[in-house]
Amino acid sequence: MSLLVVGSVAFDCLESPYGKVERALGGAATYFAVAASHFTHVNLVAIVGDDFTSKDAEIFRGRTIDIEGLERATGKTFFWSGRYSENLNERITLVTDLNVFADFKPKLPEKYRRSKHVFLANIAPDLQRDVLQQVTNRPKIVALDTMNYWIERTNAELRETLKHVDILMINDFETRQLSSEHNLLRAAKHIFKMGPSTLVVKRGEYGAMMVDKRGVFCVPAFPLEEPHDPTGAGDSFAGGFMGYLASAGKANDAALRRAMVYGSVLGSFAVEKFGLDRLRSLKRNEIHARARHFAKLTQFSL
C-alpha cells in the first residue's frame, strides 16, 4: 500500500567527534523515503531549490520513490547544520535556513491523494496539515514527527495538526518539551489528549518505547561499537516503522510491535556512517538479518 510523506529535503552540515561533512544531502523526508522504500512504494512531497542537482536526485532513483511531488523552485534548498556531543547523545542546531520551504504551497499530484498511510515528517506544522487535507479519504494511519524548532516557534499550529494524527513519533527531549512532563508515561497521557492515540518515543542509544491504551512496548537500540553520525536516525526509524506497517496492511498490536523492530533496524543502519551513506548501500537481506538479530537480542525464558 502506498505511503505518502511530506517533510524536508535538505543539505546538512554535520559535525560529530568522528568528523565533519560540510554539505551532505539530508532532510527528514529524504531519510524517511529511502528507509521506507525497502518495504513499500513512497510518494514524496517536498521542495528543493535550483542548487539541487540531478546528481543529488539520484538518491531517489532506482528505488520505489515517486518524486512527482518534489517541487523545484528558484532559490536555495533547506539548509541545516548541527553538532553532536562527545558521546553523540546531545546535539545542538547551529543553523536552520528554511529557504525555499518558507513559501512552499504544496499541491498533491492526483495519484498521491488516495494514499492510505501518511507520514508528516519534520517540517512546519501548517504545511503538514495542508498536505493531509489534500488526501481525499481519511487515511488508515497518520503519523507525525516534529522537533524543538517547531514546538517552540509554532506551538499553536502544531497542536492543531496533532488533532488529526494517530501516531506521534518524537524523541524523548521533544516528548518532555511538548507535554511539559518529565516522566514519559505521564507525558503520553498528556499527548493522548492532544489527538494521537499512540506515542512512539525515540530514545537514541536507549532504544524506543511505544505507549498506547494497551500498554507499553520497548525495543532496545542495536548495540553498535562505532556509531558515526546520528543524523536521520529518527527519520529512518520512522521510515522502517511506517514502511513496514504500509506493507503489512494492518495495524494490530503484533504488527505495531514488528514495526518498532523494523524502525530500530533502519535507525541502527543510518548511524553507522555519515549522512545517507549507509542507507544508500543497504540491502533488503541485511535488514531482515538484523531484524532476526533483534529477536535473538531480546529473547528470554521465564
- At residue 42, what are phi and psi to the nearest 5 degrees? -115, 135
CB of 230 to ligand AMP, least distance (A): 6
- Yes or no: say if 179 and 210 are a contact pair by the CB < 8 Å rule: no
Nearer to ligand AMP, 248 or 260 (CB): 260
Triad 205, 158, 232: Cα angle to 5°: 30
Of 124, 103, 139, 101, which Cα lies nearest the Cα of 4?
139
Chain-centroid distance of CA 294 in Å reads 21
Nearer to ligand AMP, 130 or 235 (CB): 235
CB of 59 to ligand AMP, least distance (A): 12
DSSP class of residue 74 equals: S
CB atoms within 10 A of CB 185: 12
CB of 79 to ligand AMP, least distance (A): 8
Nearer to ligand AMP, 88 or 246 (CB): 88
- Yes or no: say if 203 and 209 are a contact pair by the CB < 8 Å rule: yes
Helix (H, G, I), strand (E, B) or coil at 98: coil
Phi-psi group of 207: left, alpha or beta (phi > 0 → left; psi -120 to 50 → alpha; rest → beta):
left
Nearer to ligand AMP, 261 or 266 (CB): 266
CB atoms within 10 A of CB 21: 17
Nearer to ligand AMP, 102 or 297 (CB): 102
Give me 107's grid cell: 499541491
Residue nearest to ligand AMP (CB): 26
CB of 246 to ligand AMP, least distance (A): 19
CB of 235 to ligand AMP, least distance (A): 4
Nearer to ligand AMP, 206 or 254 (CB): 206
Chain contacts with ligand AMP (rule: CB under 6 A): 8, 10, 12, 26-28, 80, 96, 122-123, 147, 149, 231-235
CB of 253 to ligand AMP, least distance (A): 26
